């Protein structure tokens, strides 16, 4: 009876150290919802207890239903036959259970039958599900679609679509990508037009659509004929009726349980969500940021699974008369994996709490304004949270997705030859991890999204406050090292800014974003080490490694490692 929430000490540690007081109070209308709904909490303690119990249900399903099915889901995969997509048996069973457990409207308000949980708790659920079966996350994790309708749809649309998602009987798809519009969504062509009755209709192709066989599509389409850029795009919701055809599904390296579809819309009736022309510039950006958080958690869940496989195997496997776990090189790899995993988790939940704060403060500000009252300092705090979220979201996705690849890679390495075989779970994890640094924006695009905040050093105040804080013992030494890393970062930043060369800046961005992440994560770990002595080990290894990496990042910049880009044509023969 494994429970993937309660058996994971580190996620429980993160859960117990969450500070969702302000977020929960806003979501619960200062706990007035308890007067209407018998499942609404009466105070913060009650809310936290509810969140814990929900995660226990997720952990139970993940450990006892989803994980045991993962190998067969991978083998069977989603199947396309006669125009119909069928999920693997294990996927169907998991979705049925998740629906029965009322977990498919995780963050939606109660009036739409949702659980009204913070995003942070949903992200924990995604991590837990992904640890069991990464491919299931692609369906479970699509709840952002409902969240987007909740944020930008009108009252009728919310009442129409949201309870359907909450019931678990309807799944969704976000139809953004097209054959010629992947990373560059401004190039989207799918045509949206109004017929003679004024009904919006969609016509055209979408490609690489995760769960494109879902019941409700959120479609990015060109509503402004003659336009060519992002400002001519709007967001639509449509049902998967006879006018929508799945033409094929992709044969992928990993996440086999998740059907990736090519879709054809033939004059499909649709509803405009929000305002015309805001499709890409506002709604998709919002949707995409939510999805990036989801993929980060997916990467983290895969990494957790891979770490566990590695430790288990290393303890069982004997060579040279002893468990390979005790061989220093292997022990060192395992510690490196564990430190990555825990530091990634710290970053994940710090980020998701900022995202929560951004969204809930926005709701609160809007609410106060509607009542004609003065929101005081709240709009400033909201803007601050938005700015920090806009940096942390892509930074987290970059770090976590890359590390999931590294951790699964090392896990397979520890398995040796058998890790390369289908009999062991780790080869599946390696394949599943590989997509996380590609979809919802490649790692390279995450750097582009994060670099603005880094160039403006938007966490300067945050870091300065941390630098003034007194840490004790080992932590004081580590805090000093973080100060040094920050100095290395500031010197490197100055070098890049002074150079004032767009090309140089573009390639140096990766080094700068990494440097920034060391400082932010480093302080998270220091603060955790104050709460639990074991975490000193994590902070210590992380910060010492970060120091070495920081020097390498700085060297790459200052020695102008990238200067040969000008000679690319001569080098790339």
Catalytic residues: 440
Determine which helix (DSSP H) or strand (DSSP E) holds 505, and give its type and residue range.
Answer: helix 502-531
Which of residues 14, 50, 271, 351 is near another protein by CB under 8 A? 50
Q: How far is the CB of 366 from another protein (least distance, A)?
A: 27
Name the minimum Å distance from CB 189 to another protein.
41
Q: What is the smallest separation between the CB atom of 139 and another protein, expressed in angstroms?
A: 17
Residues paired with 205 in a beta bridge: 264
Give how many residues touch another protein by CB under 8 A: 17
Under rule CB under 8 A, residue 296 binds another protein: no
Site for another protein contains 29 (CB under 8 A):
no
Neighbours of 468 (CB within 10 A): 7
* CB-nearer residue toward another protein: 34 or 386: 34
Which range in 10-18, 55-63, 75-83, 436-444 contacts another protein by CB under 8 A? Answer: 55-63
Q: Would you say 236 and 190 are in contact if contact means Cβ atoms under 8 Å apart? A: no
Sequence-distant (≥ 6) Cβ neighbours of residue 572 within 8 angstroms: none
Per the listing, tokens 């040279």 go with 320
User: Of 28 and 528, which CB lies nearer to another protein in the complex structure?
Assistant: 28
Q: Residue 159 Cβ, how far from another protein at the closest point, in Å?
A: 19
Residues in 141-170 at the binding interface with another protein, rule: CB under 8 A: none
**Residue among 56 and 215 whose Cβ is closer to another protein:** 56
Task: Give kind and range of the element (H or E) at residue 235.
Answer: strand 233-239
Please report whether residue 284 would count as binding another protein according to CB under 8 A. Answer: no
Does position 115 interact with another protein (CB under 8 A)? The reply is: yes
Pick the closest to residue 526 from 466, 454, 441, 464 (CA basis).
466
**CA 208 – CA 192 distance, rounded (Å):** 20
Residue 60 vs 133, nearer CB to another protein: 60
Nearer residue to another protein within complex by CB, 47 or 365? 47
Whether 276 contacts 223, CB under 8 Å: yes
Q: Is residue 38 involved in binding another protein (CB under 8 A)? A: yes
Tell whether residue 60 is a contact of another protein (CB under 8 A): yes
92 binds another protein (CB under 8 A): no
How many C-beta atoms lie closer than 10 Å to residue 158's C-beta? 19
- Please, what is the minimum distance in Å from the beta carbon of residue 68 to another protein? 13
Which residue number, 97 or 203, has a Cβ lying nearer to another protein?
Answer: 97
Give the interface segment with another protein, choosing from 25-33, 95-103, 233-241, 338-346 (CB under 8 A).
95-103
- Residue nearer to another protein on the CB measure, 41 or 141: 41
Q: Could you tell me which stretch among 98-106, 137-145, 351-359, 489-497 binds another protein (CB under 8 A)?
A: 98-106
Q: Does 61 bind another protein (CB under 8 A)?
A: yes
Measured distance CA(203)–CA(213) in Å, rounded = 17
Beta-sheet pairing, 172-175 with 216-222 = parallel
Instruction: Pick the piece of the chain touching another protein (CB under 8 A) from 48-56, 319-327, 454-462, 561-569.
Output: 48-56
What minimum distance in Å lies between the beta carbon of 190 and another protein?
A: 36
Q: Which long-range contacts (CB under 8 A, 24 or more apart) does 455-462 make?
A: 455/493, 455/496, 455/497, 455/505, 455/512, 457/490, 457/493, 458/387, 458/388, 458/391, 459/388, 459/391, 459/516, 459/519, 459/520, 462/388, 462/520
Note whether 194 and 201 are within 8 A (CB): yes
- Let me know the angle formed at the C-alpha of 5 by 428 and 139, rounded to the nearest 5 degrees: 50
H-only helix segments in 426-501: 426-433, 443-455, 460-468, 474-499
Helices (H), ranges, 323-377: 328-370
Contact 305, 68 (CB under 8 A): no
Which of 22, 43, 76, 102 is in the footprint of another protein by CB under 8 A?
Answer: 102
CB nearer to another protein: give 46 or 224: 46
> Smallest distance from the beta carbon of 40 to another protein, in angstroms?
8
Q: Which stretch binds another protein (CB under 8 A): 38-46, 153-161, 291-299, 445-453?
A: 38-46
Q: What is d(CA 201, CA 195) in angstroms, rounded to the nearest whole number?
A: 7
CA-CA-CA-CA torsion sign (521, 522, 525, 530): negative
Distance between CA atoms of residues 519 and 126, nearest Å: 26
**53 is a contact residue toward another protein (CB under 8 A):** yes
Distance in Å, CB of 50 to another protein, minimum: 5
- Binding flag, residue 533, another protein (CB under 8 A): no
Binding mask 178-217 for another protein (x = CB under 8 A): ----------------------------------------
Structure tokens that stand for 360 in this block: 């809930």
Beta bridge partners of 156: none
Name the nearest CA neighbour of 507 among 490, 492, 487, 485.
492
Q: Residue 265: which H helix or E strand, with range? A: strand 260-273
Interface residue with another protein, options 16, 17, 21, 100 (CB under 8 A): 100
The conformational region for residue 11 under phi > 0 = left, psi -120 to 50 = alpha, else beta, is alpha
Task: Answer yes or no: are the C-beta atoms of 135 and 258 closer than 8 Å.
Answer: yes
Work out how close the CB of 496 gets to another protein at its nearest, in angstroms, rounded to a whole number.
48
**The binder of another protein chosen from 49, 75, 267, 480 (CB under 8 A):** 49
Nearer to another protein, 63 or 257 (CB): 63
CA 327 to the chain's CA centroid: 35
Q: Does 54 help bind another protein (rule: CB under 8 A)?
A: yes
* Beta carbon nearer to another protein, 97 or 483: 97
Q: Name which position in 18, 23, 41, 394 contacts another protein (CB under 8 A).
A: 41
In whole angstroms, how close is the CB of 177 to another protein at the nearest point?
A: 33
Point out which residues bind another protein (CB under 8 A): 38-41, 49-50, 53-54, 57, 60-61, 97, 100-103, 115
């Amino acid at each position: 009876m494994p429970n993937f929430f309660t058996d994971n000490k580190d996620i429980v540690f993160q859960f117990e150290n969450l500070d969702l007081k302000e977020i929960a109070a806003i979501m619960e209308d200062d706990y007035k919802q308890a007067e209407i709904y018998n499942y609404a909490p009466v105070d913060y303690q009650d809310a936290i207890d509810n969140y814990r119990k929900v995660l226990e249900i997720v952990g139970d399903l993940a450990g006892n239903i989803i994980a045991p099915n993962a190998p067969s889901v991978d083998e069977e995969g989603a199947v396309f036959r006669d125009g119909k997509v069928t999920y693997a048996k294990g996927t169907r069973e998991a979705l049925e259970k998740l629906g029965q457990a009322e977990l498919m409207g995780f963050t939606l308000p109660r009036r739409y039958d949702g659980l009204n949980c913070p995003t942070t708790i949903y992200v924990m659920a995604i991590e837990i599900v992904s640890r069991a079966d990464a491919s299931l996350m692609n369906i479970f994790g699509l709840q952002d679609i409902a969240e987007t309708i909740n944020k930008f749809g009108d009252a009728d649309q919310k009442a129409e679509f949201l309870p359907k998602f909450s019931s678990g009987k309807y799944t969704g798809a976000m139809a953004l990508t097209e054959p010629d519009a992947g990373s560059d969504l401004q190039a989207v062509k799918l045509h949206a037009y109004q017929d003679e009755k004024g009904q919006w209709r969609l016509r055209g192709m979408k490609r690489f659509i995760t769960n494109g066989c879902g019941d409700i599509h959120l479609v990015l389409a060109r509503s402004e004929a003659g336009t060519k850029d992002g400002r001519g795009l709007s967001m639509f919701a449509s049902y998967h009726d006879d006018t929508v055809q799945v033409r094929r599904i992709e044969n992928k390296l990993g996440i086999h349980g998740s059907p990736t579809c090519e879709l054809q819309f033939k004059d499909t009736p649709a509803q405009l969500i929000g305002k015309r022309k805001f499709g890409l510039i506002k709604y998709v950006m919002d949707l995409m940021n939510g999805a990036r958080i989801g993929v980060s958690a997916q990467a983290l869940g895969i990494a957790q699974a891979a770490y566990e496989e590695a430790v288990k195997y290393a303890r069982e496997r004997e060579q040279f008369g002893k468990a390979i776990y005790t061989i220093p090189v292997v022990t060192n790899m395992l510690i490196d994996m564990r430190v990555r995993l825990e530091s990634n988790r710290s970053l994940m939940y710090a980020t998701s709490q900022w995202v929560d704060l951004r969204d809930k403060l926005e709701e609160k500000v809007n609410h106060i304004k509607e009542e004609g009252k003065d929101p005081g300092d709240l709009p400033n705090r909201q803007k601050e949270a938005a700015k920090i979220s806009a940096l942390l979201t892509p930074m987290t996705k970059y770090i976590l997705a890359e590390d999931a690849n590294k951790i699964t890679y090392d896990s397979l390495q520890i398995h040796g030859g058998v890790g390369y075989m289908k009999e062991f779970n780790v080869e599946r994890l390696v394949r599943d991890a590989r997509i996380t640094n590609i979809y919802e924006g490649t790692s390279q695009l995450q750097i582009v999204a994060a670099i603005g905040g880094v160039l403006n050093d938007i966490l300067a105040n945050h870091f300065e406050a941390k630098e003034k804080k007194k840490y004790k013992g080992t932590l004081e030494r580590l805090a000093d090292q973080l100060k040094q890393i920050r100095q290395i970062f500031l010197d490197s930043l100055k070098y890049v800014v002074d150079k004032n060369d767009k090309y140089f800046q573009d390639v140096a961005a990766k080094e700068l974003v990494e440097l920034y992440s060391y400082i932010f994560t480093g302080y998270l770990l220091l603060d955790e080490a104050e709460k639990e002595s074991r975490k000193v080990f994590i902070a210590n290894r992380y910060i010492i490694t970060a120091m070495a990496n920081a020097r390498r990042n700085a060297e790459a910049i200052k020695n102008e490692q990238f200067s040969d880009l000008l000679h690319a044509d001569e080098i790339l023969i």
